[in-house]
Each structure stands twice: as C-alpha cells, then as structure tokens.
Structure 1
Amino acid sequence: MSHLLSISIGPVQDFIAAARRTADLYAGSQILQKLSKAVAEYLHQNNAKLIFPADKDADGANKILAEVEGEPKALAEGAQKAAQEKLERLWQETVKELSAEHRSLINLERAREQLGSLLEFYAAWVPFDGSNYSGKRQAVERLLAGRKALRDFAPTWQNDDGVPKSPLDPSRAAVIDPRRWAEASVRLPDGSHRPLRIKPTEHLDAVSLLKRCYGVLNSDKVVDTRTIKVVDTRTMARRSWRPEAEPDERYGADDDHIPEPQPYFAILVADGDRMGELIGRQDDPDAHRALSKTLDGFAREAQKIVLKYRGFMVYSGGDDVLAFLPVNQAIACAQELSEAFRYQVRGTLSAGIAVVHYREPLSISLQNAREAEKAAKNGGRNALAVALHTRGGIPTTVVRRWDNLRWLELLESFAQGDLTQGLAYELRELGRAWQDGMNVAYLQAEAERILGRKERKNLRLPLFESRQDLLNYADQLVIARFLSGIKTDDNPEVSRA
C-alpha cells in the first residue's frame, strides 16, 4: 500500500544561528544539509519516490515529502537512524583532523550524549492511492504539525555538575577546557594546519566544537568551478570600498587600536511569499516535483547572484536565502534575487537587509536581519525592508515594495555629492513638528524649501502623501548614507560609491 510520508529534520534556525564566527554559521547550515541529504538518500535507496525535494542531492530541504511503498513507520525509523549515523560520521571525520593531544582532551562520553540528543526528527504519513493529492498532502502536513507540537523533552544526563555551560548553547555543558586549546588546529588535506582560534572563555559543547572544526576545515567551497572562501564579517565590511578583499589579508588591528575604514556590512534574509498556497495548487506529485526542481534551480542561481555582488552565501535552499554582502551591493543584489525568483518560480519574494557593525555579536546581527525580513512580510509581502543598526543607536527601518524602492536613486545622489547628512535630519525634524491635520501641500513646499537651501540641484524630492511619508523618506536618506559606503575623515581615500 502506498503512503505519503512527510519528515521534518531539525533544529534549524537556532542550530544554524548558534555561532560566533561566519565559518561556524556556514558549518551549521552545511551539516544540516548533509543530514537532510542522508535521509533523502535512505528513502531513495528504499524505493521511495521523492517529491520534495525531487532530487536526493538537492540542497537545503530540511522537510522531505515522498511517496512510499510498504510500512511507513519502518521507513521513518530507518531514515532517522540514517541521519543519526551521518551526524556521528561527521563528528568522527572532523575530530580526527585534530592532533592526538587535543582529541584526548575531549570528554567523549559527554560528547556522545550531546550528539545523540541533538536531532529533532518528526514523521507523519497518510494512505495515498494516487487520487486527491492536494487533500492528502494537506492532511499529512497537518499530522506532522501536530506531531511537532507534541515535542519530546527527554532529560539528558551529561554528568556535568560544576562544568561550565556552552556560551553558544547553554543547555549543554562544555566538552573541552578552552584554556588548553589556545594552540589547537586542524590538519588540511594538503598537510598544512589551520588554527581553530578558540578563546579561553569558549567552553564549547560537542555540537559547537563540531561546527568550529568543520567550519575551519571547509572554509573554502566551490561555486561554478571557482573556489570561494568563507568570508568573515570584517572582510565583508571592507569589500564596500575594496571589492577584492579576501579573508587572508589583514587590515587594522584586532585590538581596535586602528579603526576599520568601513565597519558596516549587510545581512540579507529572503523568503518566498505564500509558498504554501503555491504548493497547494499542485494537483499531483509530478507537478509538485516540477516545482521542487524549479526551487532547487533558483537556489543554485541565487548562489551565483550573491557571488556576483562580492557577497557570501551562507544558506540557499528552495525559497530561503541567507547571505552576507558589502553594504553598497546589498540593494542591487536583493533586487536581482527578487527578479530571478519572479522569473523562475513565478512568485514574489520578501527580503530583509540589516546593516550591522562587523564587531556586533553574530547572533544579534542575524536576529536583526530576520526581524527585517518579518517587517517586509508584515508590510504586505513582495517588499524589501532595510534596517540600520548603528552601535548604540536606535534602529531605523524602511519597508518598500520592489516596484517603489527609491534606493538606487538615493545611492546615486550620494555618489554625485547631491546629498548631505544634514538634509535627512532637517526633513525628519520637519516631519516630527508637522501636525497631521495640516495641508500636505504646505508640507511638500517646506520640504522643497529646505532642499533648495542645501543647493542640491540634481536631487528631486518625491511627492509626499502624508507626514509619515516624509518621515519614511528622511529615514531612507539616513540609511542610504550607510548603504553607499561611509567616507570618514580618518580615511579620506575610502569611496562612498
């Protein structure tokens, strides 16, 4: 008898985001993809007809839907075992590249317990005779959602009394004493060694140690036959003024005695709109498989687009994108991603861009980007939200639909010298002082008078429909200065464009 089997593998966002370094973040996404592929491969080998993803080698699918024969419970249990065995193999293959001395310093018993309790694996199934595919798919997804709501909270005994908790996951105790890991490194395939740079305060648990070692070992990846290095936040910030900057180069000083010329970079998070409705319109498994292949094609295209704008793709799977970009390339990259999604998937994309300081904790910066993406969704979807997070300042967010962004014209005005920082703040003060009941035509005239006093003849203000419209435009001017690249007195050679 045939069944539709739906499987969810986690943790996802929390697992990926628990990172101190870009390489940790990238490692989390890659490990999750490998576990998902192990499940898809197991189902494929057991004669399952994969639907989503349609290809067992596709990246990014932490949810798997398949048409299976036989006993679905046994298949689900086998898939869970395959994922756990893959995780354990990744651990063994990774830690073996440590020196014998440092391998001996790992609390292996506690590490096994933590790796054994990491995976969140859920499965549900319904009978399927080939008819009413849409209804059966919705039924199995409801069952899966109900199963996930009944989470298991089995206690894990780690024998960790008095042991420091991991700073990346406080639910787990450390498996290493970081004070003895200052010189730790991993051996690369060419025989050289690359340092892990574990700080004396990084009491890493087994999962965090796996991500640190895996990320350092795999800090080079191949995209379109090109070897791309995992880019740290500092290098990404520098690429707004020096596009060819690479992680191996050093600029400034780690102890902050010498300031970076451009301390901000952009994190982009994008997600397809109303994907549930789009999937619901697929009337049979073959149509759903075709959509799966289309989404996989977009994920591969997104990799190329981000690379084109000197960015680094952290994660790209289906309709989800997480990427780091130079600030002055973020808007153009987001626009091209939106156009590619519209052309390939025939859907719309909502995206959030957070402009953040490269020294801000990565977990906080990632949360800022996800909040920006939520703002785009809440703003009506098919939109871009840009959020500026200066150190110690109040966040500023502007949401605009793709067909009315206004960003590129402002960036061009900054590049031509037609915009100054003072204009944005004078317009903001005007908007705050204006009363809602007053004639908006007078508001427009006063804004034009302020602009005229600045003698920026090439800049044209948009038509404001309300006081809030003016305030949004003023906020956009403030953010645009950062998006165009910052020119500082200490570094006069840094370009704003």
Structure 2
Amino acid sequence: MPQHLMALELGPVVDLIASARKTRDLFFGSWMLSEIAKAAAAAAVCKAKELAGTNCAQPAHDLLIVPAPDDLQRMLDDQQYSVGDEILLIVPEGADPREVAKCAKQAAHRKWIEFAREARKHVGREEDRIRQPLIRQETWSSQTSENLDQDVAGEIVEVYAVWIENDPAINYSARLDLIKRLMIGRTACRNFAAAEGIAGVPKSSLNGKRESVLVPPEQFNADRRRTPPVANRKLRLSRGEQLDAFGVTKRVGQGRKNYPSTARIAADPWIRYASTNNPERWESLKEEAEKLAREDRERDEDAVLGRVVVDGTAFPSYPQYSAFAYEGAILYETRQHEFLEEAAIPDQRDRETRLFDFQKALKAVSTDCGDPGTYYVAMVADGDRVGELLRNRRNADEHRRFSQMITEFANSVRDIVAMHQGALIFAAGEDINALLPLDRAVECADALRTAFQDTMKKVDTESTATLSVGLAIGHFLDALEDTLAAAWQMEGHAKAHPGKNALAVSYSPRSGAPITFRRSWADDPLAALNQWIELMRQKAIPEKAPYDLRRVAEVYRNWPQNTAEQEGMLQQALRADLIRVLSKKKGVAVRPQIEPLLANVCCADDVLEVCHIIMIAGEIGKAQHLAKSDSHSLDDDNSVIAGGETR
C-alpha cells in the first residue's frame, strides 16, 4: 500500500466550544476539544507507524504535519499545548489509512468518555451525600455510549477523515488543495443519524439538540421551574436551565476549577484603579471577599465565590487577576443577592447578614472610585493569506516547519492576552479566541496582529499574511452565547474587507440595537479610536454629535453620484457638514484635529461609520477612565455616549 496524506477534522466546533452560558463552559469546552484532538492525532500516527512496520524508520511524531510537536508524550502532557480541530499527517507505505482513521476516531471517543466519566463521578459523590439522584442515568448512558465501532466517534464528538495517495510527482500544494476539497465535501456529507428523542424530556438549553440528563425538578419540590439548591451549586444552573451530558461535563469536568467570569473581566479596569487608589480600603474589601469565599468553601468544595488560580505555575492560571481573584459579580450591588442565591443560600436574611460587612467595604471603595464598568469584549481572530504561504511549501517537511512556527506564535498568544488583562480561551495555530477588558481590547488586537506578522516574516521574508480581528463589546449580563456569536460575526466581517487585514468592532448597548465599524489595519484604527477618545476627554466635540451625524447621513443618503463631478461635490459637501457639526463646541480650534479623521468619508454610509466609531470610542474611553483617576466624573466626560445611543 503506497504512502498517503491524511486529514482529520473534529466537530462540531460550535457545539464543543461556543454553546456556553458560563465562562467555564467556554474555557473548559475549548480545552477539552484540544485534548480530544491531541489524543486523536497521537493515536493516528502511532497506529500508522505500527502498521507500516519496517517501512517507517522515523519516529511517530515526525509523521504529524499539523500539529507538529517535537515529542508526542510532551504534547499530550502539556495542558497549554493547544491543537485545533484540523489534523494533517503522513500515513507511511504499508499502513492502511482506513485502520489509521478508525484508530483516530476511537481515540477521540475514548478521550471524550474519559472526561464524561470524571464529570459523572463528581456529580455522583454529591448524589451519594444527599441520597438523591441528580442525573437521569438512562439518558446519560445513551449520550456517553462506549461503542467504539460506530462510523463516527459518537454523536457528540465527530471525527471525519479523508486521504489521498501522497504522490511526489504531484506538486505538494496541489495535494493540499485536493485534500482540502475532499474534506469540505466530507463534512458537507456528515452522518445524519435518525433522531431518537425521549418523549416528555426537555432538550439541553445550550444547544437544543440532545435531551437533558438532569432529574426533573418536581422530584425535589413543587416548583417545576426550580432545580434543587445543591444542583444549582454543583452545576451553576439558572432557573429552568437544562444540560445534556456534554453540558454537564463542561460545567463540572475535572472537579473544582475556577475561571474568570464576564463580570470579573468587565470590572477589571475599575479593579486596577481601585486597588491602587486606596490600598488600605482595597485590602479591607479583599478581606471581606475572602471571608465570604472561606464560608463558601467550608459549606462545599464547589465554592461559587471561589478564587481563580493566580499561581503562574498552575493550569489554568490567571496571575493578571491577582488584585481580585474572586467572582466579579459580587462587586455589583444589583447582582449580589442573585449570586448568593446561586450559591444555595436561599434565605434572604442569611444573605443580608453575610453581605453586610462586604457591602460596607465596597461602599468605602466606591466612594472614591465610582462603580465598576459593565462591558467586556469577546475577541475572535484568524490569519489571512496563510494558504498562500502554504502553497509555497515544497514538501511535508517544509510544511511541518511552518506548523512549528505557527505553534510558536500560538504559544506567545497567552502571554500577550494576559499582558492586556485578558483571558485566553484558545489559540490553535492562527485561530484565537479570548475575553478582554474593554479598555485594553483594541490594543491587544493590535499587539497580536504585530506578533503574527513578525512570525510570518520568519517563515517568508516576503510574507503578506495578516491577522483579521473581530471584537464584540457586550454587557456582562447579556447571554454569553450572543456576545460570542457577535465576535464570530465581526471576525467574518473583518475578513470580508477588501484586502482583509482588518479590525471589525460591534457594540451592543443594553438600550439599543448593535452598532459596528470596520477599518483596515493599514489605516491604524487604534490611533483613530485614541484620537476620538482624546477629543471627548477634552470635551472638544458636542455631546449630541452622534444624533446630528445620523441626520447628516439621512440628508445625503440619496444624493446623485452618477459622475465623477457629482461624487466630488458630494464628498466636499459631506466633509464640510461633518466639520461644521463636530466643531460646534470649540469652533475652528478643533478643526485640525477633526479633518484628518474624516479624510476617507465619501458617502452617507461613511458618515454612519464615523457616528459609530465615536460611540464605540466613547465607551472605550469610559473604561479607560475607570482604570485611571477621576473615575467618579465619567458620566460628565463621556456623556456623548449617553446622547448617542440608539434607544
């Protein structure tokens, strides 16, 4: 049997990662996907080498092209080594690719079952303690079948495989193009098994595909909408929430591990300032938070107010959040009682007693520093024109070295995100997903773009590869899935920009429709945002500017642009009107600062984009003020946003 080039793809990625209500679902789901992919990749090359026998003298790890580890065992042991959903390998002469593909699928399935068993044991210990079932075992068993002889590795984790003869007479890039087309066709023809629903059992709240494995609430109390307090605590369930086996595994897999919440990330600018403004008051606040956390841990190992690990030697670890390593929701007065109710403290008087000292310490800090912000950012980034670089690889060895350079970049991403106070969800190759505080998000995106381009220059000094980034600004009370979906949408919007190499940002205010803007990195959107922020800090533009700009856009919406002369007249009139609107407050003194920011305005849609970038810059500026001094005057300094929101 000749040598083959094989591609494996795991999925469905959206189900594995993006279906999330808690950040734990998101972080653990992405890490679990990486671990499953590593298991499949390692099993595939080990099986290929075994089947090839004496025909394969090279070590098994050298058969892997994507990923390209130096040592298989180190890859499997290193929890920070991320692998994406796509795997490429060489199947040496004498090895049957069908057997290799089957082995990879079985390994992926076994790894998923390993995670599921661990989660089931964790819940089982609580069932033994309270002597009541929390999981419907029949439904759980049907979703965690150990049958390894099925065509796909279970309904939850699917593994697709395609392969072609690795003929050296055919150009290597042509082989890559062919196997990519085959994989697109294979995933389009996925196995659609007959639905096997269970009458009367609700579906999972996260994806709506599979039945919930949770015992019906009526077995615990008369309120069918309420789950038992212990289930609320163990599984962090909201009212009426249902989880399938995969959802439960993401929620409790590997026991007690705390991940930064969207509330903690949204509050981060305020925490950075408040922790340094009056260290004595801040330490008092942390002491009260630690008391609450300690009481929480004494009641149950699954502390709802648990600390995230800040020791850089552990995994997962978030030393960037050492200033306040607790659940951020406790910092918001309107969320405190709901939060403690989720911690299975249903009695209101008990909650008020527990919160009294903490609220007193929080009020002392807020007197000087104001209240924490409520918006955070989800980031999705992907490389552009990476395929062009791959087409220049002449063989698998060069491709493997290219993969190692991509891995080098991915390994640096965690540190770059942490430097900007963010939390990395995953970085596999040039695919990046992270959560960031609002004041540092665009700066982080720019740093990642620069690092990626520097890495690609090491591969090819003539490289034109770039990084397109999508950012979604969302309220921490908004559904996490919605903010993630907006970030994915913005990443696609950025890549759709002519020439790609763009930043796209969406902002979803609580009181209006989302707004977006897109700008090429070549036009330096970071500098443009900073200039608008500075103009607002100086109160150099009117508070009602966004409203006025919308009216200008409508006035010029249907102006004729049939000739070059008409286009020129429109642009001249537009810019003159924009300068008039934006310089109402400071007059001619501010024109030199405004005119360069309007240089690319050519039509009514461009006016709306200026309106949107001003509103987004105002929200970012508000977060930047929170991280610095004078935060109590933010409402005055950033009233342009209040005046510009769509209501």
Q: Distance in 2 between matches of 1:117 and 1:371?
A: 27
Which one of the candidate residues 251, 261, 265 is aligned to 1:236?
Answer: 265
1:441 is aligned to 2:479: no
SS of the residue corresponding to residue 253 of structure 1 reads helix
Which one of the candidate residues 470, 477, 488 is aligned to 2:614?
Answer: 477
Match of 2:136 in 1: 107
Match of 1:52 in 2: 66
Post-superposition offset of 1:377: 1.3
CA contact (8 A) 1:357 1:391 kept: yes
Post-superposition offset of 1:23: 0.8
Match of 2:543 in 1: 421
CA contact (8 A) 2:504 2:519 kept: yes
**What are the equivalent positions in structure 2 for 1:4-23 lying under 5 Å apart?**
4-23=5-24
1:403-444 CA-to-partner distances (Å, cap 9, x unmatched) read: 211122222333444445322332332232234544433433
Q: Distance in 2 between matches of 1:172 and 1:185?
A: 20
1:337-368 CA-to-partner distances (Å, cap 9, x unmatched) read: 11111111241011111111111111111111
Which one of the candidate residues 159, 173, 179 is aligned to 2:211?
Answer: 173
Which range is displaced more, 363-372 or 148-157?
Answer: 148-157
Name the CA shift for 1:218/1:100 in 2 (closer, same or farther; >3 Å): closer
Name the CA shift for 1:294/1:351 in 2 (closer, same or farther; >3 Å): same
Letter in 2 for 1:151: R
Which one of the candidate residues 115, 119, 136 is aligned to 1:94?
Answer: 119
Match of 1:293 in 2: 404
1:302-326 CA-to-partner distances (Å, cap 9, x unmatched) read: 1111111111111211111111111
Q: 4+ runs of 1 displaced by more than 6 Å?
A: 255-260
SS of the residue corresponding to residue 248 of structure 2 reads helix
Q: Distance in 1 between matches of 2:511 and 2:68?
A: 47
Post-superposition offset of 1:391: 2.0
Which range is displaced more, 62-71 or 242-251?
Answer: 242-251
Name the CA shift for 1:142/1:439 in 2 (closer, same or farther; >3 Å): closer
Which range is displaced more, 398-407 or 462-471?
Answer: 462-471
TM-score by length of 2: 0.69
Q: Distance in 1 between matches of 2:108 and 2:508?
A: 38
1:210 is aligned to 2:249: yes
Q: Distance in 1 between matches of 2:622 and 2:424?
A: 21
Q: Distance in 1 between matches of 2:236 and 2:390?
A: 44
SS of the residue corresponding to residue 199 of structure 1 reads coil
CA contact (8 A) 2:422 2:435 kept: yes
CA contact (8 A) 1:165 1:203 kept: yes
Q: Distance in 1 between matches of 2:410 and 2:114?
A: 27
**What are the equivalent positions in structure 2 for 1:210-289 lying under 5 Å apart?**
210-214=249-253, 217-219=256-258, 230-243=259-272, 244-249=323-328, 250-251=330-331, 252-254=333-335, 261-289=372-400
Which range is displaced more, 105-114 or 359-368?
Answer: 105-114
Post-superposition offset of 1:178: 6.3
Letter in 2 for 1:212: R
CA contact (8 A) 2:8 2:162 kept: yes
Name the CA shift for 1:399/1:101 in 2 (closer, same or farther; >3 Å): closer
Letter in 2 for 1:444: R
SS of the residue corresponding to residue 106 of structure 1 reads coil
1:384 is aligned to 2:503: yes
Post-superposition offset of 1:450: 2.9
Which one of the candidate residues 593, 602, 606 is aligned to 1:466?
Answer: 602
Which one of the candidate residues 100, 104, 129 is aligned to 1:75?
Answer: 100
Which range is displaced more, 433-442 or 236-245?
Answer: 433-442
Alignment length, in residue pairs?
A: 477
SS of the residue corresponding to residue 241 of structure 2 reads coil
Which one of the candidate residues 152, 157, 163 is aligned to 1:119?
Answer: 157
Which range is displaced more, 167-176 or 466-475?
Answer: 466-475
Q: Distance in 1 between matches of 2:327 and 2:254?
A: 15
**What are the equivalent positions in structure 2 for 1:402-417 lying under 5 Å apart?**
402-404=521-523, 405=525, 406-417=528-539
Q: Which has the higher strand share?
A: 1
Name the CA shift for 1:182/1:309 in 2 (closer, same or farther; >3 Å): farther
SS of the residue corresponding to residue 435 of structure 2 reads strand
CA contact (8 A) 1:296 1:318 kept: yes
CA contact (8 A) 1:178 1:201 kept: no
Name the CA shift for 1:450/1:133 in 2 (closer, same or farther; >3 Å): closer
Match of 2:29 in 1: 28
Q: Distance in 2 between matches of 1:401 and 1:367?
A: 22
SS of the residue corresponding to residue 169 of structure 1 reads coil
Which range is displaced more, 61-70 or 98-107?
Answer: 98-107
Q: Distance in 1 between matches of 2:379 and 2:398?
A: 30
Match of 1:226 in 2: none
Post-superposition offset of 1:37: 0.5
Letter in 2 for 1:466: C
Match of 1:375 in 2: 493
Which one of the candidate residues 137, 142, 146 is aligned to 2:176?
Answer: 137
CA contact (8 A) 1:352 1:373 kept: yes
Which one of the candidate residues 460, 468, 471 is aligned to 1:350?
Answer: 468
Name the CA shift for 1:464/1:105 in 2 (closer, same or farther; >3 Å): closer
Q: Distance in 2 between matches of 1:185 and 1:200?
A: 11
Post-superposition offset of 1:245: 4.4
Q: Unaligned 5+ residue runs, structure 2? A: 50-59, 76-80, 145-153, 221-226, 273-322, 339-358, 360-369, 458-464, 561-565, 639-647
Q: Distance in 1 between matches of 2:472 and 2:337?
A: 23
1:133-166 CA-to-partner distances (Å, cap 9, x unmatched) read: 22223222222222222111122536x2111111
CA contact (8 A) 2:266 2:376 kept: yes
CA contact (8 A) 2:263 2:327 kept: no
CA contact (8 A) 2:267 2:372 kept: yes
Name the CA shift for 1:17/1:439 in 2 (closer, same or farther; >3 Å): closer
Q: Distance in 1 between matches of 2:255 and 2:239?
A: 18
Name the CA shift for 1:464/1:38 in 2 (closer, same or farther; >3 Å): closer
Q: Distance in 2 between matches of 1:416 and 1:177?
A: 58
Name the CA shift for 1:441/1:494 in 2 (closer, same or farther; >3 Å): closer
Q: Distance in 1 between matches of 2:555 and 2:86?
A: 51
Match of 2:284 in 1: none
Post-superposition offset of 1:451: 3.1
Match of 2:418 in 1: 307
Q: Unaligned 5+ residue runs, structure 1? A: 187-193, 220-229
Q: Distance in 2 between matches of 1:279 and 1:168?
A: 37
CA contact (8 A) 1:21 1:362 kept: yes
Letter in 1 for 2:334: A
Q: Distance in 2 between matches of 1:333 and 1:79?
A: 36
Identity of aligned residues (%): 31
1:363 is aligned to 2:481: yes
Match of 2:148 in 1: none
Which one of the candidate residues 76, 88, 99 is aligned to 1:65?
Answer: 88
SS of the residue corresponding to residue 351 of structure 1 reads strand
